[in-house]
Amino acid sequence: MNPSKFPIKNHVSKKGKRISQVLKGKFGFGLDTLDKALQGDQAALQAIGEAARQGRQVQELMPLLTEAYTTLIKGTEEYNKGVATILKQGATSAINIDKAVSQTILANQKYGNQRQELAAEFATAKEAEKVRHQYAIDYIQLKAYIDTYLTKVDNDAKLIDQSNRPEVKQLEESTRYELAAAKHLIQHGNNARLDLLPQREYLPIEGGQSTRKPSRGVMESVGRILSAFGLSLQQ
């Protein structure tokens, strides 16, 4: 067919020039290719036929391929999400397991240490109790010894005090007698008679004589007093 003699009039293209340009840019074929094919251009016809064949193939296969790709993509997504979840949980569980192992090791070590501490504490307390007990025994024995000693000293002192009572009494009596004799001599002068003054003897008499030694201190003092008055001591 001679292109110059193509009888069909195109009333639309002039009104849609921008759209006509889009056809070739978006789909690869413009209206000019369509006109060529209508005019019997074999190359245009072959190109459009091949494009149409591929178009039909795309329309038939694309839904299946789209579904396959979508399934593949979603499967890949789910697979990686699952792997990530597994790895994440594995990491968390591994940390928890390691923590549990560490805590078990520490608990075991603590148990061993506390047993050693308990043994050391027991040994120390046992030794301290042994020392305390020994000191308590020593204290009881020493206190008993001192109590016995003090009791003996106190009892000996009581015995000595009782045995010395006659001499102490005799000292008191001698002091009393000498004072009474001095008063008697001062009162009666040369007429004094000391033999009239009673004198108690608390000490035992041996062979008819008293074991007491008479004190001369008071009698000498009385003699000096009498001499001052021109008197003499008569015994």
Asked if residue 63 has pLDDT above 80, the reply is yes
Query: Residue 16 carries which DSSP code?
Result: G
Asked if residue 228 has pLDDT above 90, the reply is no
Selected residue with higher pLDDT from 133 and 230? 133
pLDDT confidence bin for 41, thresholds 50/70/90: confident
Q: What is this structure's pTM?
A: 0.41
pLDDT confidence bin for 197, thresholds 50/70/90: very high
pLDDT at 12: 64
Question: Is 42 in contact with 56 (CB distance < 8 Å)?
Answer: no
pLDDT at 211: 53
Mean pLDDT across the chain, nearest whole number?
83
Long-range contacts at 225-233 (CB < 8 A, ≥ 24 apart): 225/182, 225/186, 226/185, 226/186, 226/189, 229/189, 231/189, 231/190, 232/190, 233/185
